[in-house]
Amino acid sequence: MTRPAPVPSGGGQGAPVLVERDGPVCIVTLNRPASLNAVDDAVAAAVGQALDSAATDPDVRVVVLTGSGRAFCAGADLKAIADGRGPGLHPQWGFAGVVQHWVPKPLIAAVNGPALGGGMEIVLACDLAVADPSATFALPEVTRGLAATGGGVLRLHRQVPLKIALEVALTGETFSAQSVLRWGLVNRLSEPGSVVHAAVQLAHRVADNAPLAVQVSKRLVHRAQAHEDTWDPAFWRRCAEEGMRLSETADAQEGARAFLEGRVPRWSTS
């Protein structure tokens, strides 16, 4: 199905962050191509605000994060740090306004090029990821006497095998999109040059489903991942409570009716 072109909804072309809408999909673009979309405090605040607005906008169901130009994100802007413009850390939402920012709606990374350091940590904070075949990934912090404390050392081992995570974190080496696809760090590779289109298509596939059910599913998956024992009765009670609340919504009734009537559901909540 052909979808309308995205419509700008925030920031001029010279703004460090662009926000567009493609129906229920919000596209947030880091827009500092000359610096490979490196993040300073202004970028972190703008991205965080865009995510906060999307979280509370009933018409937004999925968010796509990407970069302009040839890079996704080169991490913190070292020049900005030297100039006193900050390391790209938001006091509430963490690096880039993303890595400590819980958004109830799904986030999809459209990795159009290098995702280095904090850039890779943004990918780790997203729920899904699509990568261009030319994209590269690295946590080079150890090569600079630092550690990937923006989520790299906390999340990578939860998303790929432990020894792979340690190789990435301890060597600082750069890995290809094909490698991270094998690890399961990204969901799929796009055709060359079309990663945003592919990510938006995936976003629409998610957005076609019942919004509250999607949000509950995201929340339970994240809680289950962090839960040490999924046999714990307390965790099962929480799942049952969430499921019961969903079953009582208008969308649950609409989903059943639409199935029986052989038509596309018309969701009423978000």
What integer pLDDT is reported at residue 22 of this predicted model? 98
Q: Are 137 and 177 in contact (CB under 8 A)?
A: yes
Annotated catalytic residues are: 121, 141
Helices and strands in the chain, H and E counts:
10, 12
What is the spatial distance between Cα 137 and Cα 95, in angstroms, rounded to a whole number? 17
> What 3-state class would DSSP assign to 129?
strand
What integer pLDDT is reported at residue 78 of this predicted model? 83
Q: Are 121 and 95 in contact (CB under 8 A)?
A: yes
Copy the structure tokens of residue 3.
Answer: 């979808």
What integer pLDDT is reported at residue 232 of this predicted model? 85
Copy the structure tokens of residue 182.
Answer: 């094998």
What is the spatial distance between Cα 81 and Cα 73, in angstroms, rounded to a whole number? 16
pTM: 0.92
What integer pLDDT is reported at residue 5 of this predicted model? 47
**Mean pLDDT by 10-residue block, N- to C-terminus, for the chain (270 residues)?**
47 85 98 96 96 97 98 91 80 96 98 98 98 98 94 96 98 98 98 98 98 96 80 88 94 95 88
Residue 55 φ then ψ, to 5°: -65, -30
Copy the structure tokens of residue 48.
Answer: 């965080």
Cα distances (Å, whole numbers) of residue 124 to 13, 66, 205: 27, 13, 21
What integer pLDDT is reported at residue 231 of this predicted model? 82
Q: Quick count: other Cβ atoms within 10 Å of Cβ 112?
A: 28
Q: Are 122 and 65 in contact (CB under 8 A)?
A: yes
Dihedral through CA 180, CA 181, CA 187, CA 190, nearest 10? Answer: 110
What integer pLDDT is reported at residue 4 of this predicted model? 41
